[in-house]
Amino acid sequence: MYARRHPPNGQANLAYGSPEYTLAGLGASEYFNSIGLPNWLAAGCSDAHLPDEQAAAEAGMNMSIAAMAGSSLIHNLGYLSAGRTGSLEILALRDELANSVTRLARDIEVIAETLALDVIKRAAPENTFVSNGHTMTDTLVKCGCRNSSLARPLRTF
């Protein structure tokens, strides 16, 4: 289902999918972050007219930049045709992208447990790092699976 509106005569459209639009938002976000103000960026939007590859690529680009910029809020998820069209299909895709870019924007914890040097030393001679219980638990937790019973070591055949 699509809803479409046209800008009034004499007004220009935003170029949501352009690198310039994304860079302008990035600059604004950096400025507002530097003076301690919350800010929002329009991202998850596209100039494409349909939920297609162009729409996915443009949204992926501008959502990633918005998240990496430390924006307080990402606005305009699901907009197509420079904000003239809304799409429930593309909104569902943006939800998936939002989960991914949120994870990409988080820090990576580098401590003794996450480095697991002892596990590497123990597993290296037999090349069993991936099937190691520590690796399985750590990977499943980071992927969002909290069921520790799935994190038992794989059986060696």
Tell me the DSSP string of 37-57.
---EEE-S--S-SSSSHHHHH
Q: Are residues 26 and 96 located together in one domain of the fold?
A: yes
Q: Are residues 60 and 88 located together in one domain of the fold?
A: yes
Helix locations, 14-150, DSSP H = 19-34, 53-68, 88-105, 112-115, 117-123, 133-142
Please check the confidence at residue 148 and state whether its pLDDT lies above 60: no
Tokens describing residue 124? 């290296």
Q: Are residues 88 and 140 located together in one domain of the fold?
A: no
CB 105 within 8 Å of CB 72: no
Residue 2 confidence class, pLDDT cut points 50, 70, 90: very low
Comparing 34 with 75, which gets the higher pLDDT?
34
Q: Are residues 74 and 134 located together in one domain of the fold?
A: no
Please check the confidence at residue 102 and state whether its pLDDT lies above 80: yes
Q: What is the pLDDT of residue 32?
A: 93
- CA neighbours within 13 Å on the CB side: how many for 85? 17
Q: Does 85 map to a domain?
A: yes
**Count of structural domains within the chain:** 2
Q: Does 87 map to a domain?
A: yes
Q: Are residues 143 and 87 located together in one domain of the fold?
A: no
Q: Does 156 map to a domain?
A: no
User: Rounded to two decimals, what is the model's pTM?
Assistant: 0.65
Residue 54 confidence class, pLDDT cut points 50, 70, 90: very high
Q: Are residues 50 and 100 located together in one domain of the fold?
A: yes
Domain hosting residue 128, numbered range: 112-151
Tokens describing residue 37? 């103000």
**What's the average model confidence in pLDDT over 109-125?**
84
Q: Does 32 map to a domain?
A: yes
Q: What is the pLDDT of residue 25?
A: 87
Please check the confidence at residue 3 and state whether its pLDDT lies above 50: no
Q: Are residues 101 and 75 located together in one domain of the fold?
A: yes
Please check the confidence at residue 38 and state whether its pLDDT lies above 60: yes
Q: Are residues 91 and 136 located together in one domain of the fold?
A: no
